[in-house]
Chains A and B, each alone.
Chain A
């Protein structure tokens, strides 16, 4: 069964600083991986996805993530944080059997300090 672990339930960075949100996955087959963002009182919006093509994936709002099979990681980064990046971020792995549902990590709340 696939699973996802997000290290750090809360991350705080200064405006303009590097953003790094960690995600490790467990999967017996090559995974499909996703990062979603959730702004307050809103649904989830897809930031980016990895589906076995290029290992460095670029998404919206300047975010990118690198799939590292040897480390079973899919960390999300952004070179320079903006105040508008404050939100909750979820890493997810898509199952291959049955429903092909998404299995989510617990989420990381990102706070941006002025």
Chain B
């Protein structure tokens, strides 16, 4: 079956512009996560969705970052007024939310470059 997909794969933007990153999870996966990976570093948790609600937004670095999810489907991460420090790979992951299935399935990521 299809895995997690993300678009665009690459995004170059100018400082101060807004960007939208999209994630399509595996069909039927109720849990969805966004992570950020800065160059040479591990992944930082940003936000978690269960269905279309976001019970944990604790990783969002500032109020310029927001995310939404439509039902148990597509999620969009929006970064307003981008800054150079926002440059990173943004990874989305989904999980079935079933007992006994603990791993997360990752998409290929969106590489964001802020000039």
Contacts and interface: CB of A to CB of B under 8 A. Distances in A.
A and B are interacting partners: yes
Contacts of A44: 43, 91, 93, 106
B41 interface: yes
Interface of A: 9, 32, 34, 36, 41-46, 49, 51, 90, 92, 94, 98-107
Q: Which of B45, B93, B104, B108 has the most CB of A within 10 A?
A: B104
A101 B108 contact: no
A98 B33 CA distance: 13
Interface of B: 4, 31, 33, 35, 40-45, 48, 55-56, 59, 91, 93, 100, 102-109
Contacts of B42: 90, 104-107
A107 to B, nearest CB: 5
A34 to B, nearest CB: 6
